[in-house]
Structure 1
Amino acid sequence: MELFIAMSLLPLIYAIFLLLKPIYQRKHQSCYMLAYECYKPTEDRKLDTELCGNVILRNKNLGLDEYKFLLQTMVNSGIGEDTYAPHVVVSGREDCASLSDALTEMDEIMYGTLDGLFRRTGVSPSDVDILVANVSLLSTVPSLTARIMNRYKMREDLKVYNLSGMGCSASLVAVDLVRHLFKIHKKALAVVVSTESMGPNWYCGKERSMMLSNCLFRSGGCSMLLTNDVALKNRAILKLTCMERTHLGSNDEAYECCMQVEDDLGYTGFRLTKALTRAAARAFTVNLKVLVPKILPLYELVRYLIVSYRRSNKTTELEKVGVGLNLKTGIEHFCIHPGGKAVIEGVGKSLGLSDYDIEPARMALHRFGNTSAGGLWYVLGYMEAKKRLKKGDRILMISFGAGFKCNNCVWQVMRDLKDGNVWKDCVESYPPKFKANPFFEKYGWINDETLGFVRLD
């Protein structure tokens, strides 16, 4: 009789097991951020107004028209005088950068941020289970992760991954990779190193669509420590709640709008075309269609369906995305990739965001420039330094990258955050009270039409 009862209970026990298994798996597949560390170069690498002008003048391929174009672009870029350039640019060797220069640039960023990360968290490099590095424009042998592994003498069973060619959106691609790896590696610690190789990729030609990158991109990067160990939950600063990735690589226009190419003179650079805003708008729209139902309450979704039929046609492609959508019903903070003034303002207008909402992205662009894949974390750092992030708040990260990609995710703040991080020595002066433009003050004469007869010798 007892055997019969035991046999009868087995199906019930098995059914209970099947019901509880997904709950247990979700519990151990969480992705927590324990800390992040942004890179701050030394003061001797600041790209101020005078140095910017000197760098432009050093390019003997430029005529007055190209010179004027670059100066006008800098005036309107939204970038200040405190951004940082690679060593090879500061020293005047941008046209002959070597592999050694590239590796030195990477070492400073990777080791500088990793040293700070391990020191801040007390985690030993030997405790790390997963290592991901994303650098789009530099692929070395041995790999950059092997370089990191050798420097810190990490474990032989460390799982390493190198991502290249992903562009400005690579950081969230790396985080998503870790999120998926956490499904099979229990109680794991993962480190993501996110940066870009700027020095060897400084454009020395004269094509306008390729000169834009020199005006926007600057040195920077970030390392972050992630875990799925619930025992470390109380030490976490953020929890990843949602991630959506969109890739338009099959569309020719989107594929070609951000591309590393050689110009007619053989100079390698990064070409940015006018189709970029259309590609960004298309990718952003596709991404939001999937993401929004997961993060907004039902009443807001119903309201949006009603008002979406009344959209204005007097906006740009990027500004049309999400018009009438109130993301603030499900999101408190917006971490927009500081790719450029037009991108930040276009996303802000499309989502109906206030100046307060887009201030972090604007200030990150002004202070550090477009640091490519590392840019999002300077924006996050600004929010934290300004003590905006409170326990329970939700942060929407919005990133765009070559391919063309739009990768967005939502983080939940696990505790009140107030670390000054990379902003600690200057956050009190942001946003600037006076919006004087040093580039215009020094080079405003270039817009004087009466000087049209001037030619550069």
Structure 2
Amino acid sequence: MHLTPIHLSCISFLILYTLTVFLISRPRPVYLVDYALFKPPRSYRVSFAGYIEHARMGRVFNEPKSVHFQMKILERSGLGEETCLPPAIHYIPPTPTMALAREEAELVIFSTMDSLFTKTGVKPREIDILILNCSLFSPTPSMTALVINKYKMRSNIKSFNLSGMGCSAGLISIDLASDLLQKHPNSNAIVISTEILTPNSYLGKERAMLLPNCLFRMGAAAVLLSNRRSDRRRAKYRLSHVVRTHKGADDKSYGCVSQEEDEEGYVGIKLNIDLMAVAGEALKSNITAIGPLVLPASEQLLFAISLIGRKFFNSRSKPYIPDFKEAFEHFCIHAGGRAVIDELQRSLQLTNEQVEASRMALHRFGNTSSSSLWYELSYIESKGRMRKGDRVWQIAFGSGFKCNSAVWRCNRTIELPVEGPWADCIDKYPVHIPEVVKL
């Protein structure tokens, strides 16, 4: 067969067209260039004794039973004496005004953003996408507008403000940023994760709503993501997977964490007694989805055999729990509370060292909501444990009820940071955390 110039032109065009379609349609890599964390001033520190003294002196929740209950929670919480609350909650009684809430938001967000710009060398007007998640404080103008106004960002920046999505909203923001970066080549994105506590301190007496007062503390994270080839070498991590599980169709799951008023009209976050059972079900669904993406073939085979055996032979037999230690070198479990970490350590059969970052972040900073995963990742880096090729599993829970996971692969061996939230105390950790700290 003789090929004419027309035939050769058609073949060349077909090859070029096929290559172009392939290059355009394949997923773009998403890199985590760097991130920054908020470190509260030492003057915001809340010791156990100071917390209980404020509870006793307050006008609203100073009943002996309420004070005793909060004392028992603190004794078993896993928190240390260095956690921080915003100034408005230090007042007696607390003063949750809109003005003070805005001051807290500006402090945690602007200081974190300033640190991120300094670390990365990126200019505010170079940012293409801005995503901010904060569950309980959603003012008008939005907090993304606050950031854009402060740093005079471009008018065509794509901004998103997520609220009401709980402690797992940080990974939802990462997923949203990843999807946007797939659509927009040669772009970058900043994800800000925080929780503003000033307007959300519960002033009533209901025990299920007093629990968040004892656990939640100040925190914020700002993460720079990019799909640019020029950022590949300097980036710390590459995003491998994000798996999101939403159990909101089930009424019990939907109502296990809710913001509502008590009988006296005080607003707070109510944690129902079946929260841990709901979290366990959400975790099972999530690991079932993420398992095939990350587990080696041997573990997937054992899991499949167990699943078939329970379905067709003995439904009461214990399900096989895959060994996720074969898939990951590091684990960042949302530091929602001691019970959450204990339950995931038991369910996933993790060692004490593998949950060390979560326990120490809870001890040093408390439950910082959606930013807690980044304090844990920073702990691992500050200990000098992150090596090129290491895989990290971040897993978080949130109201709704949601269980979300993100998997990162380390792009380069991380040098010991000279600054950051752990810089002045990493040598003290890990510390022994007793089952009960007697107050």
TM-score by length of 2: 0.93
Q: CA shift at 1:275, angstroms?
A: 1.6
Q: CA shift at 1:9, angstroms?
A: 5.1
Q: Which residue does 1:10 correspond to in 2?
A: 10
Q: Which residue does 2:118 correspond to in 1?
A: 119
Q: CA shift at 1:307, angstroms?
A: 5.5
CA distance in 2, matches of 1:202, 1:324: 39
Q: CA shift at 1:51, angstroms?
A: 1.2
Contact in 1 for aligned 2:357/2:377 (Cα 8 Å): yes
Contact in 2 for aligned 1:59/1:205 (Cα 8 Å): no
> Partner amino acid for 1:122?
G
Q: Which residue does 1:446 correspond to in 2?
A: none
Structural mapping, 1:151-230, within 5 Å: 151-230=150-229
CA distance in 1, matches of 2:247, 2:294: 23
Q: CA shift at 1:12, angstroms?
A: 6.6
Q: Which residue does 1:419 correspond to in 2?
A: 417
Contact in 1 for aligned 2:59/2:93 (Cα 8 Å): no
Contact in 2 for aligned 1:361/1:379 (Cα 8 Å): yes
Q: Which residue does 1:26 correspond to in 2?
A: 26
Higher helix share: 1
Q: Which residue does 1:234 correspond to in 2?
A: 233
Q: CA shift at 1:11, angstroms?
A: 5.5
Q: CA shift at 1:252, angstroms?
A: 0.7
Report sequence identity in percent.
38
Contact in 2 for aligned 1:323/1:352 (Cα 8 Å): no
> Partner amino acid for 2:385?
R
Contact in 2 for aligned 1:168/1:401 (Cα 8 Å): yes
In the alignment, is residue 283 of structure 1 matched against residue 289 of structure 2?
no
Q: Which residue does 2:314 correspond to in 1?
A: none
Q: Which residue does 1:317 correspond to in 2?
A: none
* 353, 356, 363: which one aligns with 1:356: 353
* 393, 399, 404: which one aligns with 1:402: 399
CA distance in 1, matches of 2:309, 2:35: 42
Q: Which residue does 1:131 correspond to in 2?
A: 130
Provide closer, same or farther for how the CA distance between residues 9 and 286 of structure 1 changes in structure 2, counting only shifts above 3 A: farther
User: What is the DSSP-based 3-state SS (H/G/I as helix, E as strand, rest coil) of the residue aligned with 1:161?
Assistant: strand
Moved more, 371-380 or 426-435: 426-435
CA distance in 2, matches of 1:69, 1:23: 60
Contact in 2 for aligned 1:217/1:372 (Cα 8 Å): yes
Q: CA shift at 1:8, angstroms?
A: 6.0
Q: Which residue does 2:323 correspond to in 1?
A: 326
Contact in 2 for aligned 1:248/1:254 (Cα 8 Å): yes
Contact in 2 for aligned 1:307/1:324 (Cα 8 Å): no
Residue-by-residue CA offset, 1:190-216 (whole Å, 9 max, x unaligned):
111110011110001011100000011
Provide closer, same or farther for how the CA distance between residues 325 and 65 of structure 1 changes in structure 2, counting only shifts above 3 A: same
In the alignment, is residue 390 of structure 1 matched against residue 384 of structure 2?
no
Residue-by-residue CA offset, 1:79-100 (whole Å, 9 max, x unaligned):
0110001111123342x31110
Q: CA shift at 1:68, angstroms?
A: 1.5
Contact in 2 for aligned 1:308/1:324 (Cα 8 Å): no
Contact in 2 for aligned 1:136/1:164 (Cα 8 Å): yes
Moved more, 38-47 or 424-433: 424-433
User: What is the DSSP-based 3-state SS (H/G/I as helix, E as strand, rest coil) of the residue aligned with 1:183?
Assistant: helix
Q: CA RMSD in A?
A: 2.1
Provide closer, same or farther for how the CA distance between residues 336 and 323 of structure 1 changes in structure 2, counting only shifts above 3 A: farther
CA distance in 1, matches of 2:213, 2:355: 24
Name the count of aligned residue pairs.
429
5+ residue gaps, structure 2: 311-317
5+ residue gaps, structure 1: 312-319, 444-457
> Partner amino acid for 2:111?
G
Q: Which residue does 1:372 correspond to in 2?
A: 369
Moved more, 194-203 or 7-16: 7-16
Moved more, 47-56 or 341-350: 47-56
CA distance in 2, matches of 1:245, 1:292: 13
Q: Which residue does 2:313 correspond to in 1?
A: none
CA distance in 1, matches of 2:100, 2:435: 35
Q: CA shift at 1:300, angstroms?
A: 1.5
> Partner amino acid for 2:382?
A
Q: CA shift at 1:397, angstroms?
A: 0.5
Residue-by-residue CA offset, 1:93-136 (whole Å, 9 max, x unaligned):
42x31110110000001000000000111100010000011111
Provide closer, same or farther for how the CA distance between residues 392 and 184 of structure 1 changes in structure 2, counting only shifts above 3 A: same
Q: CA shift at 1:325, angstroms?
A: 1.3
CA distance in 2, matches of 1:92, 1:239: 46
Q: CA shift at 1:166, angstroms?
A: 0.7
Contact in 1 for aligned 2:394/2:405 (Cα 8 Å): yes
Q: CA shift at 1:399, angstroms?
A: 0.5
In the alignment, is residue 74 of structure 1 matched against residue 71 of structure 2?
no
Contact in 1 for aligned 2:168/2:404 (Cα 8 Å): yes
> Partner amino acid for 1:148?
V
Q: CA shift at 1:21, angstroms?
A: 2.9
Q: CA shift at 1:282, angstroms?
A: 1.3
CA distance in 1, matches of 2:2, 2:137: 68
Moved more, 113-122 or 45-54: 45-54
User: What is the DSSP-based 3-state SS (H/G/I as helix, E as strand, rest coil) of the residue aligned with 1:182?
Assistant: helix
Provide closer, same or farther for how the CA distance between residues 284 and 15 of structure 1 changes in structure 2, counting only shifts above 3 A: farther
Moved more, 296-305 or 382-391: 296-305
User: What is the DSSP-based 3-state SS (H/G/I as helix, E as strand, rest coil) of the residue aligned with 2:393?
Assistant: strand
Q: Which residue does 1:102 correspond to in 2?
A: 101
